[in-house]
Structure 1
Amino acid sequence: MANFSGIFFAAVGVCAVITFLSSDFYKQKFKKAQETNAEDEISPEMKERHTKLLKKYLFVYLLAVLSDWLQGPYVYALYMEYGFEQHEIAELFVAGFGSSMVFGSFVGGMADSGGRKTFVIIFAAVYAASCVTKHFKDYSILMLGRLLGGVATSLLFSVFEAWLIRAHADAELPKSCLSKSFSWAAFSNSITAIFAGLVANKLANESTMTLVSGNVYVGGFLNPFDLALAACGMCAAGAFMLWDENYGERGSNGKDGRENKGQWYKALQEAFGTTINNRDVLLCGLISSLFEGSMYIFVFCWTPLLKSFAGDADLPFGLIFSTFMVSCMAGSSLFSILVEQYPIERLAVVLFAFASVGMAIVGFGVNESVSFIGMLFFEMCVGMYFPIMGTMKGGIVPENKRAAIYNLYRIPLNFIVLFSLLNDLTASFSFKLNATMLAVATGLQFILTKRRLGTGNQASSPNKEDSKPLLEEETEDGGKHMV
């Protein structure tokens, strides 16, 4: 068996070094005085505004992802504990992704017109309701919970990001601040995942599931869901008290377009038209779907692949998961270093190419250790992906249709996930499929980079890019104006 403990401590060491090199302390104390970057040109007052905004965002966002991470390891285990058959459990999971694909296609448009803060609160309420359904040993109620969870997932991966990008623009912060915010969010998300895994494991083992009335259970595997419910409540309260409302467009008077509330169907139509007709928006969506699809397949397949190598030996799942998250943290810190030297679009090309190599190593891995190293390689790419893609989408997707388009991006993603769930693919083949999808994403990103930066080596430096406005919106006549 692979030396998982040794690999974990090695990953921690690598992460610590990269995080130190990305820290403000290192940059201020050890980098040469003549080395400047976009952040050096930001005024102290602007840095203070950014810090306040980032703290408000992370408080709410991390409670949201905490509620998600707490549930993840125990959904399947709970269904098994209730005694459902394998095909019934598969149906429940398919329903969740199907719900995300169907309902997510229009909730984004509703958030753009109804307010992103409002829909963050709705996310918390819907996800909390999904947690409540887990207490019932009733297939229909659990199915309802999966449908609610699908809607909540669509909101989690679209509305929070849309709010953050608009909030940066409203605060008149430059692009470098947005990249830093996404990097902090990715890094903090990994820490939250480790914390959630440890706490959920402790709670789940504290007691056994007990029937209290009819088909209602408490305790055991349900404890993490109860804590997730509490996190949802705190998330809603935090958004209500700390966040300002923002919308997907401005009127001619410069105020947010509240008069467009309720016109989600029109927003959906316009978002679909923009995605199809704007090649940059379309390419961005295809690329994100391919990468995130490979991420979901990875989640489904890493356990059976490692177990095929381990045989009857027990695997330290908690340690393996923690090593994955440490690798993600290292990736987000590495992004903080590289983004100061290279344009986001070119970083993305290299990222997807390396991710494809990582998945190929796993798919063709000759033993457990080699495959696990390939997985960690991919997880480091995941840590870099979210700040890279978040920043890139921030400059490509029109603000007035942002949440709607982000949810449209999830339709091909959910098709990929459903394909992997509904077909009996081996773990090895699934990782080879991932490598292929990521190779295609690399090619598409290369095309997008040429479109965004030009065919020559005349790409603007990060410093020059930082001077540009953060957002652009489409006007009614099809033109664009800067925010």
Structure 2
Amino acid sequence: MGYYENSFYGLLALCAGLLASQPTRRNELKKLADSRKQVSRDDAHPEADWYKVYALIMGADWLQGPYLYSLYRDEHGISERLVSTLFATGFLSGAISAYFIGSLADKHGRKAVCMVFCLLYAMSCFFTIIPSIPLLFLGRILGGISTSILFSVFDSWMVTNFRERKLVENGCDLSRTYATTSIVNSLSAIISGLASEWLVRVSGTKKAPFLLSIGLLWTALQIIWANWVENYGTKQSESKDAPKPPSLLSTLKQPSILAIGFASTMFEGSMYLFVFYWTPTIKAVQKSTAELPYGYIFSSFMASSMAAALIFNIVMQKRPFKYSRLLVGILLASNFCFVKLAGPKTEDATFWLFCLFEACVGMYWPCTGYIKGRIVPDDVRAKVYSILRIPLNIFVVASLFIAGDSQHYLRVFSTCSMLLTASFGIVWIASLKDNMP
């Protein structure tokens, strides 16, 4: 067994140990009972349908990741330049559609838009396996729209559902919900990576993972239809005497939201660039000429992310410090990774720096999710979440065009470190001046 395989199994053992130490809803129910508060005796977890749907949609997304580029290049025979254009089309589609998606979700219902996501993403998968240039571009356009929904409307539905159903009284905790969601995402990534590799090997075609994705999305659609409750942003039926909800502009002008928006753009933009450049970076410092075990390396990254989410769950149970201060630490650690990656390094150091960055990703999602859940009003939640993704998509497209091919990864990592330094400073100032949780 090689070095990367041993590292992966070691990280899995760490995850198993951390999983056994997790705070649970049952513990919270016991605390509520001890404090003589009325609690539900229902053992069914009130957020089970959320976790099921999230596992399915993220599994559908992760199944495609390892083979999208290879499907375009190897099976469809598309030039590398056209592949880059297809990827850029997806990000541009996400940027253009973001504002309209948030508005539609807040007005017409987030459950409905989540169901539309399942249909659009399934269509994107179907068009991706057809070797027709117009249909491939249509697939990327639908994929960009779907990604905007995935990272804005689903979160919006979950947070509003959490509050409207008063799940705190049922032993739930929004911070723990976000951490568990991140854990579910990491597990989906690991399982999907192994499943996609097996499917391709058995079927002999890289189209197979995309067909399975369609099946997972259809299953998710059925669960959403049958079990989710609809929620909205601004209500049309509100009384004229009721206080007006905060406007979109006034919400976006809040220093805390501007800071979290800037930090999200810089961190998530760096994350997308990391996904694009990690393979050539490890190959450039590889000590041997043997084929790298990419599946184990990718799974190690996901295991690192999962371990960090599990640690987040344990540490933040007692709220030892503010979430905004933790975000500052995450940005600082990420900056350290890119500073080191931009300089001379060994193969082992490169691998573990990537694992450390993925650990930062594992803590980043529940941390920023909780902060946005606290500072963004429910009335404009989906709209704000969508708008915050517009500069992210533009940033990634611009970075890919400016960076050019994968040989310029050192310059990219150096730029990422500078941008993360700026976001670290902005979040720090906002956490001091504004009431960030």
TM-score by length of 1: 0.81
Structure 2 distance, partners of 1:449, 1:38, is 31
1:197 aligns with 2:193: yes
Q: Please, which moves more after superposition, 37-46 or 59-68?
A: 37-46
On the 8 A contact 1:19/1:334 being kept in 2, the answer is no
CA displacement at 1:337 relative to structure 2: 1.8
Q: Is the 8 A contact 1:289 1:410 kept in 2?
A: yes
CA shift in 2, pair 1:253/1:327, >3 Å: same
* CA–CA separation in structure 1 for the residues paired with 2:155 and 2:70: 31
Please state whether the residue corresponding to 2:292 is helix, strand or coil: coil
CA contact (8 A) 1:359 1:375 kept: no
- For 2:435 and 2:403, the matched residues in 1 are separated by 42
Correspondence for 1:407: 386
Cα 1:26–1:5 change in 2 (3 A) is farther
Q: Are 1:241 and 2:226 an aligned pair? A: yes
Tell me if the contact between 1:331 and 1:384 (Cα under 8 Å) persists in the aligned partners.
yes
Q: Is the 8 A contact 1:363 1:371 kept in 2?
A: no
- Give matches, 1:206-285, under 5 Å: 206-208=202-204, 220-250=205-235, 270-271=247-248, 273-285=249-261
| Compared CA separation, residues 143 and 119, structure 1 to 2 (3 A) | same
Q: 1:62 aligns with which of 55, 59, 84?
A: 55
Alpha-carbon spacing, 1:40–1:280, altered in 2? closer, same or farther (3 Å)? farther
Aligned equivalents of 1:299, 1:385: Cα separation in 2:
16
Q: For 1:142-161, what aligned pairs fall within 5 Å after superposition?
A: 142-161=136-155
Alignment counterpart, residue 335 of structure 1, candidates 312, 334, 340: 312
In the TM superposition, what is the alpha-carbon distance from 1:417 to its structure 2 partner? 0.8
- Partner Cα separation in structure 2 for residue 279 and residue 25 of structure 1: 34
Residue from 285, 290, 296 that aligns with 2:266: 290
Match of residue 81 from structure 2: 87
Does the aligned pair in 1 maintain the 2:33–2:39 contact within 8 Å? no
- Structure 2: gaps of 5 or more residues: none
Deviation at 1:444, TM superposition (A): 1.5
Asked if 1:141 corresponds to 2:123, the answer is no
Distance 1:194-1:59 versus aligned 2 partners, 3 A rule: same
Unaligned runs of 5+ in 1: 29-35, 209-219, 258-266, 455-464, 466-483
Say if 1:22 and 1:333, in contact at 8 Å, map to a contact too: yes
Question: Distance between the aligned counterparts of 1:328 and 1:40, measured in 2?
Answer: 35
Q: Is the 8 A contact 2:327 2:367 kept in 1?
A: yes
Q: Kindly, what percent of the aligned residue pairs are identical?
A: 32
Return the alpha-carbon distance in structure 2 between the equivalents of residues 288 and 47 of structure 1.
Answer: 39
1:367 maps to 346
* Partner of residue 316, structure 1: 293
Q: Distance in 2 between matches of 1:232 and 1:360?
A: 39
| Matched residue, 2:92 | 98
- Count the aligned residue pairs: 423
**What do residues 185-210 of structure 1 show as CA deviations (whole Å, max 9, x unaligned)?**
000110011111111111112133xx
Q: Is the 8 A contact 2:95 2:389 kept in 1?
A: yes
1:26 Cα deviation after fit: 12
What CA distance in whole angstroms lies between the structure 1 residues aligned with 2:306 and 2:198? 23
State the partner residue of 2:17: 17
Structure 1 residues 192 and 88, CA, compared in 2 at 3 Å: closer, same or farther? same
Q: How many Å separate the matches in 2 of 1:410 and 1:25?
A: 32
The one-letter amino acid of 1:5's match is E
SS at match of 1:45: coil
1:189-241 per-residue CA deviation (whole Å, 9 max, x = no partner) reads 10011111111111112133xxxxxxxxxxx1111000000111111111000
Call closer, same or farther: CA 1:24–1:57 in 2, change over 3 Å.
closer
What's the RMSD between the two structures over aligned residues?
2.8
**1:92-131: per-residue Cα shift (whole Å, max 9, x none)?**
1110000000012211111111100000000000001111
Could you tell me how far 1:362 is from its partner in structure 2?
2.2
User: Is 1:350 the equivalent of 2:340?
Assistant: no
- Going from structure 1 to structure 2, the CA distance change for 1:325 and 1:141 (only over 3 Å counts) comes to same
Return closer, same or farther for 1:37/1:443 CA change in 2, 3 Å cut-off.
farther
Q: Aligned partners of 1:44 and 1:202: how far apart in 2?
A: 49
Q: Secondary structure at the match of 1:83?
A: coil
**Contact 2:118 2:221 (C-alpha < 8 Å) held by counterparts:** yes
**Aligned 8 A contact 2:190 2:299 in 1:** yes
- Find the residue that maps to 1:53 and give its secondary structure: coil
Q: CA shift at 1:364, angstroms?
A: 2.1
Partner of 1:437: 419
C-alpha deviation, 1:428, in angstroms: 1.9
What residue identity is the alignment partner of 1:135?
I
User: What whole-Å deviation, never above 9, does each CA across 1:430-475 have from its counterpart, x for those lacking one?
Assistant: 2222222222221111122113459xxxxxxxxxx8xxxxxxxxxx
**AA in 1 matched with 2:13:** G
SS of 2:389 mapped into structure 1: helix
Structure 2 residue aligned with 1:389, among 351, 365, 368?
368
- What secondary structure is seen at the aligned counterpart in 1 of 2:427? helix
Query: In structure 1, what is the Cα distance between the partners aligned to 2:34 and 2:351?
Result: 39
